[in-house]
Structure 1
């Protein structure tokens, strides 16, 4: 698979997710066979106004191709923001978010709100493509709601504007993350475009990934919420797509060791306080489905120091299986 001039050896994408795919988690996923990662989305306007917190979100991870994702609805600001995002991060490509369904984003005309203004979305891609010398990609949904599904027209505009790849989440903005992803629609997008198409939505494990790949014909697969606490999903999907035996997830003590490594990386990136706040949700995700873990999830909800993390991790590894 090619994204412009980039060769993608392993077309398994970690979805960009605000508050989740920070540098630490992306680094862990890249080590466990996510072939392409994308930063959390950042505001192009905030970049232009030199907001330091926004710039920190753009740290590039090693071990995979890495894209910087920006959002906004002004072509000139987006072009300037794109240049800044790449200067700050050194990322391999620039991704434009046209799929975020959250009201504060979409209702302002950003994210999935751009699917209501396809002409403006096309101008944004044209401006960004002219402004940067790396491939520009777009992530979108099926449309605003069930009555305005326009993904076929929209993605054709993106291709015409110079996008090197599109990722389609098979839901509308109004669905958020409910219901079933429409892989039929992604299949139709793939059939009409000459640029690569990445499928996103309901890729919950290796079996679902195989079905999605076969049905949609997509060039790549993007995994989102299914990797929460389970970065080994990339390893499993990679094996399934290659026709190899699907590896079991590691033992709990080994999974906890990976979680602790993620939190150590987060401490390096954010400092102890923020790392512990992030660990509260990530640590609980690592314990999903683990019997008798309620007692430790309670402790996890009030982590305040790295020593707390080390202590709880040690006790979990000792007491749970």
Structure 2
């Protein structure tokens, strides 16, 4: 998979997710097999540029390249300026968000709301591509609603504007995350353009990854929700695509060590007060499929201490390991 001058390690990408794909999460996914990770979306609103949240999202220290930053907005001039600012802060790829279905984004005519206005899409893409020398990519949905699936039209506009890769979530904005992803629509988009197309939506296993690549003909796949609490899904998919064999599930002790490293990075990145609170959702994701996870999460959510949070994680996963050994005996 290649985007402009950047040859990626593989064709497995981490989807940008607000409140999730911060630097610690991106670094972890890259270490566990992702070829690229796109940042949380950064608003093109200049008034927010100096906010603590935006400044933190522009911190790429120690992160492997290429650094891909997603920007959000509906004004071509503001989007072009946002692209220039982010490149100045280290972005090596600019990704444009035209896929977010959130109401607070769509009500300001940004995200997937832009799909209702193809001429504006073209103006935004033209402005951003002209503004920076780095590759520009685009993330879209298949359309605004099932009656207006215009993903092929938008893809052709993107290619004509000089966009160098296109990620497609296989649902319309109206569908949110319900129903099944439309892989046939992604296939139609892939057949309509010559730029790389990245398939996204409901890819939650190595077997599903292989099926989606075959069904869509996409150049790559992008994984979002399935990586929450399971960042090793990328190495699992790589192994399956290369060998046709499914890796054994990771042992509790291995998951414990991955999670503890993740927590330590969150504490360092956000500070203890905020880090502990942000860590809670990650701990919930890591433990949601484990026996006794609900009671464990109740205990974790009552502590405000990094030491206590880490101790509870160790206790929980060590007990899982003991239980597994007893069952195997």
TM-score (norm 2): 0.94
Partner of 2:24: 24
Q: Extract unaligned runs of 5+ from structure 1.
A: none
Tell me how large the CA RMSD over aligned residues is: 1.4
Contact 2:44–2:71, Cα closer than 8 Å, also in 1: yes
Contact 1:140–1:169, Cα closer than 8 Å, also in 2: yes
Please say if 1:71 is aligned against 2:72. yes
What's the CA shift for 1:268? Answer: 1.4
| 1:13-51 deviation per Cα after TM superposition (whole angstroms, max 9, x unaligned) | 000000111111111111000111000001011477533
What's the CA shift for 1:148? Answer: 1.0
1:101 alignment partner, SS class: coil
What's the CA shift for 1:111? Answer: 0.4
Contact 1:48–1:84, Cα closer than 8 Å, also in 2: no
Please say if 1:83 is aligned against 2:111. no
In structure 1, distance between residues paired with 2:131 and 2:47: 15
Q: Extract unaligned runs of 5+ from structure 2.
A: 322-329
In structure 1, distance between residues paired with 2:194 and 2:202: 24
| 1:242-274 deviation per Cα after TM superposition (whole angstroms, max 9, x unaligned) | 234332232112112111111111111111111
In structure 2, distance between residues paired with 1:7 and 1:269: 28
1:222 alignment partner, SS class: strand
| 1:95-119 deviation per Cα after TM superposition (whole angstroms, max 9, x unaligned) | 0000000001012110001101111
| 1:55-91 deviation per Cα after TM superposition (whole angstroms, max 9, x unaligned) | 2112226245330000001111101111111222x12
Deviating more after overlay: 306-315 vs 51-60: 51-60
TM-score (norm 1): 0.96
| 1:290-309 deviation per Cα after TM superposition (whole angstroms, max 9, x unaligned) | 11222211112223121122
1:124 alignment partner, SS class: helix
Count matched residues: 320
Deviating more after overlay: 209-218 vs 79-88: 79-88
1:40 alignment partner, SS class: strand
Partner of 1:38: 38
Contact 1:35–1:65, Cα closer than 8 Å, also in 2: no
Partner of 2:107: 107
Residues 35 and 161 (structure 1 numbering): CA distance in 2 closer, same or farther, change over 3 Å?
Answer: same
Contact 1:99–1:139, Cα closer than 8 Å, also in 2: yes
Q: How does 1:181-196 map to 2 (within 5 A)?
A: 181-196=181-196
In structure 1, distance between residues paired with 2:241 and 2:92: 25
What's the CA shift for 1:161? Answer: 0.8
Contact 1:170–1:185, Cα closer than 8 Å, also in 2: yes
1:41 alignment partner, SS class: strand
In structure 1, distance between residues paired with 2:27 and 2:304: 23
Contact 1:292–1:320, Cα closer than 8 Å, also in 2: no
Contact 1:280–1:303, Cα closer than 8 Å, also in 2: no
